[in-house]
Chain A
Amino acid sequence: MHGIAASQPYVIALFLAWAGLMKLFGRRTRAQAGRTALARLTGPARAVPALRLVGLVETALAAALLAPPFHPLEGVAAALMSVGFLAYLTYSHVAAPTASCGCLGTHSRPVDARSFARAGLLLAAALLATAAAGAAPALPSVIALEAVVLLALSAELDRHWLTPLRRLVVRVRRPLAVTPSRDVPLEASLHLLRRSLAYCSASAQITSDVLEAWDEDGMRFVVYGARERTAVFAVPLSGNDPAGVRVALV
């Protein structure tokens, strides 16, 4: 138990160092500061200085947590910071629901359950760290496990692992694969119809959308309303040549 508590400062420090250094030195982070919820809180003009200040505090706290000896007050500071994160996330969720939080580098995802889970986990870690009593050694496996969970909760990294993973799953399981069918969807015939000269010549007369459609003798017949009359099109079911489309106004 003491080992787990003693591991927490390292987890928090690693995470804060990443967040702080991204804010201080990430060029794109600064460029997109105006689009984060922070800009809403401080005003767009002060967004970059505010981002820098937060980055500086995060880096300083990370350094303090890493530098031995560990003092429980550092844990309290980390807990206060985590409460601040949660408050900020709540604010951005309410005040700027479409803006990203700007917590760790750039991404366009708004604040969601994962952001709250990540800040909540940081708070739990910080509270656990305040209970760390001196001598117990840190457990590398605990640090690694928590780091992995925190990284998995970071939407900023999704494109590095989640998107390729989903692509792989789609390639293996092919969820949209269909058994080949001879039925031609109506929408496919309508795309061909709309590209045809027959449709262009009659379109000025057409007043409604498709009234009815039926298949007969390798053709699909599509009926539109055309003022007081009816426009009937014959679209070939096979082939992809719009010249095969014919029209009559009845």
Chain B
Amino acid sequence: MRSRRDVLKSAVLGGGAGVVAATALGSLGPEAAFAAQKSFATQQVEPGAPDPNFAEGRIRSIKDNTLLVLGSNMVFHTIRVVDGTSLWKLGPVPFDQAKPGDGLYARGVLMPDGILAAEAVWLNIVNIKGHIRNITSQTIHLDHNGQDVLCHVVAGKSVAVHSESPPTADLSMLKVSQHVQIMGAWRPDTNEVDIATVFSPH
């Protein structure tokens, strides 16, 4: 009895006999891509109208696999998380990591009963630009439009991308007063962020 991971592994490495509909690189022809675009085009949203398949806000309560979310425009969203839903909180996380108070962006399919069946949920994700005011032990003090944001380096998760070079776990090349863009996970109700990626222009 092979595990699910073994099946996926053999599919992608090409050794998988009996794997249904496995596609190696190259066989995803343009017709597949165009088919995807066509179905996307039929669902396209009117300019200015809210996208029904998208929700944002902060989690008010969690019941079973359903999140009740209050949007920043004071609209409530009900979001269902299923097995195939990806959750991000500084990386892929299981559903029990979603907590009331977390901010989120969710994308999925709006069901006829008004529930958004989520395909992907990003918890507390932020993308901020600013200047490094100071660097102390495993933290970067960011000046974002005059506001202090305390950014924590998380060992094994945070990476730095300098210009076009490949990402590195070594963040020690960053300099005080330089401009950076930081993607990370906000710690709710604080001015603190856990760093996923620091983008540096040089």
Contacts and interface: CB of A to CB of B under 8 A. Distances in A.
Bound together = yes
Interface of A: 98, 108-110, 159, 163, 166-167, 170, 174-178, 181, 183-188, 191-192, 197-198, 201-202, 204-205, 207-214, 216, 219, 221, 223-225, 229-230, 232-234, 240, 246-250
A185 B86 contact: no
Contacts of B92: 186, 209-213
Contacts of A213: 92
Given A175-B136, A185-B156, A202 B28 contact: yes
A197 B25 contact: yes
A250 B21 contact: yes
Interface string B19-38: 11111111010001100110
B196 A225 contact: no
Interface residues of B, number: 61
B146 A98 contact: yes
A183 B154 CA distance: 13
B12 A178 contact: no
Contacts of A219: 13
A111 to B, nearest CB: 9
B120 A209 contact: yes
A178 B158 CA distance: 11
A197 B27 CA distance: 12
Interface in B92-139: 92, 119-120, 122, 134-139
Residue with the highest number of chain A CB atoms closer than 10 Å, among B37, B137, B166, B176: B176
Interface stretch (B2-10, B41-49, B60-68, B72-80): B2-10
A2 to B, nearest CB: 41
A188 B168 contact: yes
B156 A249 contact: no
A211 B121 CA distance: 11
B33 A185 contact: no
B22 A250 contact: yes
A233 B91 contact: no
A208 B119 contact: yes
A16 B117 CA distance: 64
A185 B198 CA distance: 13
Interface of B: 5, 7-9, 11-14, 16, 19-26, 28, 32-33, 36-37, 84-86, 88, 91-92, 119-120, 122, 134-140, 143, 145-146, 153, 155-159, 161, 166-172, 174-177, 196-197
Nearest to B156: A183
Given A207-B119, A246-B24, 5 more contacts: A159-B177, A176-B138, A177-B170, A186-B92, A212-B92
Contacts of A198: 25
Residue with the highest number of chain A CB atoms closer than 10 Å, among B85, B92, B140: B92
A38 B183 CA distance: 35
A163 B156 contact: no
A248 B22 contact: yes
A210 B88 contact: yes
Given A197-B25, A204-B33, A211-B92, A188 B167 contact: yes
B172 A177 contact: yes
B32 A221 contact: no
A205 B169 contact: no
Residue with the highest number of chain B CB atoms closer than 10 Å, among A209, A211, A224, A229: A209
Nearest to B165: A240
Contacts of B8: 221, 223, 230, 232, 248, 250
5 contacts: A166-B176, A208-B120, A216-B5, A221-B8, A250-B22
B153 A176 contact: yes
B166 A192 contact: yes
Top-10 shortest CB links A-B: A209-B86, A208-B86, A204-B36, A248-B12, A188-B167, A248-B11, A110-B146, A232-B8, A209-B120, A204-B33
A208 B197 CA distance: 20
B138 A175 contact: yes
A223 B84 CA distance: 10
